[in-house]
Structure 1
Amino acid sequence: MVKYPNGSSAAYHKSAVPKMQHAYHLHRKNVNFSDRGMSLEQQINESNKYYRIKGIAVVHKKPTPIQIVKVDYPKRSRAVIREAYFRQASTTDYNGVYNGYYLDFEAKETRNKTNFPLKNFHEHQIIHLAACIAQQGVCFTIIKFTSLERYFVTPASYVIKAWQEKHKSSLTLCEIEKVSIEMASGFNPTLPYLKAVDHFIADRKSNNEKK
């Protein structure tokens, strides 16, 4: 059993930017449906594996440090963790390097069809993303509307701004469509999110040239 900092518990598992004016839509050609039933985390992990094998990018899911309290040894060659605690709150889900740019992003899913609740983000995640942006990192969130089978790569700067608004509890689907890059699930990679990152980098270069 793994216990969170607030005292709640959960079962332990092994696998433990300026506002954009419009959305870029990645066409749904050659869509592969073999990923149906996969969680967003699984889809991203498969994509990251593909990117690493092809030498395109090095991105990994961040491990969360835990303090092991109780371990049983049913066999000498096998240990079973019975109780553990998270040492500290985690930051974001993924980070890595792509074409000389530092990437840092969070992955979120919702079954809502019309909006994405901002409560899905924690304060320490918002603070972390803001700090990475201040260091010129490329930061974003991959949002999956599970019921709609739609995927969006949303700039972290927009999420941070919305989260900081006192009376704003969610992002509407319409808002996300306007500021995000929508992508389609496919095959190799399962989620081609680096195509969205390419747009973010191109926009950054364009803005720097105008200065």
Structure 2
Amino acid sequence: MTIRYPNGKPYRTNNDKKHNRNQLKKKKVSFSKRGMTLEEDLNVTNEYYLQSNQAVIHKKPIPIQVVNVDYPRRSAAKITEAYYRRASTTDYNGIYKGRYIDFEAKETRNKTSFPLKNFHEHQLEHMQKCYEHGGICFVIIRFSTLNRVFLMDFSTIYKWWRQQFENDSRKSIPLENIISEGAEIHYGFSPRLPYLDVLDRMLTK
């Protein structure tokens, strides 16, 4: 039963107040950077690379055409209707050590494989053209449930993409193959996701 004051507020004992103070203390505990998406991790990393003058890599803007805009107040505008002007290509591009960089970032909650349906054909076609012109193309894959991130070069990804249409082959890349054919990116502090270090090692090979 809850005891209340005449004004309707609940009566609390000293134990109740102490319990509430403990709850407030617990809420102050912070786990910095946990729960960030792959895109957020990469954006923070790319900002570090830019500030340290290691590379100039940015996320590509989404090519949308705005149709309707709502103005709830003079100082704010909200897009209520829009559509894609054209199919987007990959997520990121830029310059690193004098070379053009172009890559896609993908996440999956699967624990044992990466579904190839997460790719769009026009994305692979775009990377193939960049690759043929000497660009460095790759994919960064995050297994969000496992919190593991891998980098796979375009030629390896393209091999798996083509295989799925041959003799009813599997429609996903097994995790063990991603481990053996790609390279794992381990989280750090600065940069958050040091994928250029991994890329350097793969290019050396």
Superposed pair shares fold, TM > 0.5: yes
Q: Equivalent residue for 2:45?
A: 47
The 5 A counterparts of 1:125-204 are 125-165=123-163, 166=165, 167-203=169-205
Equivalent residue of 1:113, what SS? Answer: coil
Gaps of 5+ in 2: 1-30
Moved more, 85-94 or 191-200: 191-200
Q: Equivalent residue for 2:24?
A: none
- Bigger Rg over Cα: 2
Deviation string, structure 1 residues 110-135 (Cα, Å, up to 9, x no partner): 11111000000000001011111101
Number of corresponding residues: 171
Equivalent residue of 1:161, what SS? Answer: helix
| Structure 2 letter corresponding to 1:176 | I
How far did residue 186 of structure 1 move? 1.4
| Structure 2 letter corresponding to 1:133 | Y
Contact 1:104 1:132 (C-alpha < 8 Å) held by counterparts: yes
| Structure 2 letter corresponding to 1:40 | L
Q: What is the rounded CA distance, in whole Å, between the counterparts of 1:50 and 1:110 in structure 2?
A: 25
Q: What is the rounded CA distance, in whole Å, between the counterparts of 2:155 and 2:131 in structure 1?
A: 8
How far did residue 77 of structure 1 move? 2.8
Q: What is the rounded CA distance, in whole Å, between the counterparts of 1:113 and 1:57 in structure 2?
A: 32
Contact 1:109 1:144 (C-alpha < 8 Å) held by counterparts: yes
Structure number with greater CO (CA < 8 Å, separation at least 6) is 1
Equivalent residue of 1:132, what SS? Answer: helix
Gaps of 5+ in 1: 1-32, 204-211
Deviation string, structure 1 residues 36-69 (Cα, Å, up to 9, x no partner): 2000000000000000011110000001111111
Contact 1:40 1:107 (C-alpha < 8 Å) held by counterparts: yes
Structure 1 stretches of 4+ with a deviation exceeding 6 A read none
Contact 1:73 1:80 (C-alpha < 8 Å) held by counterparts: yes
**Residue 106 (str. 1) matches residue 104 (str. 2):** yes
Q: How large is the RMSD of aligned CA atoms in angstroms?
A: 1.2
Moved more, 74-83 or 51-60: 74-83
Q: Equivalent residue for 1:22?
A: none
How far did residue 91 of structure 1 move? 0.2
Q: Equivalent residue for 1:28?
A: none
User: Counting helix residues as a fraction of each chain, which structure ranks higher?
Assistant: 2
| Structure 2 letter corresponding to 1:107 | A
Q: What is the rounded CA distance, in whole Å, between the counterparts of 2:82 and 2:204 in structure 1?
A: 44
Q: What is the rounded CA distance, in whole Å, between the counterparts of 2:108 and 2:203 in structure 1?
A: 27
Contact 1:118 1:170 (C-alpha < 8 Å) held by counterparts: yes
Q: What is the rounded CA distance, in whole Å, between the counterparts of 1:88 and 1:129 in structure 2?
A: 16
How far did residue 76 of structure 1 move? 2.5
Contact 1:162 1:168 (C-alpha < 8 Å) held by counterparts: no
